[in-house]
Structure 1
């Protein structure tokens, strides 16, 4: 036994890459949502007034 260190025998490099890319997507989305939250905390009324819904949105 290796004490849980290293890669699992069933894990391929493609699995590791896909997992890393998924983590980057989640992190980027979290950062964007945090930025939106900060904007709304400081300028919620202005943000709502400036939002214009376009046809079909």
Structure 2
């Protein structure tokens, strides 16, 4: 009953992940491959954190 009002702990992380992927896409389209690879690596690390958080629940 009290779980009804509990926020999803990964929702904020997923939003950040999507934002990073979108920034990476725009960097790639502009030809900035270095920034694209850095943002993609950050997004991958964030995705690993999301998976770990989901497993611990």
Structure with bigger RCO (C-alpha 8 Å, 6+ apart) = 2
TM-score by length of 2: 0.47
TM-score by length of 1: 0.47
Which protein has the larger Cα radius of gyration, Structure 1 or Structure 2?
Answer: 1
Greater share of helix residues, 1 or 2?
Answer: 2
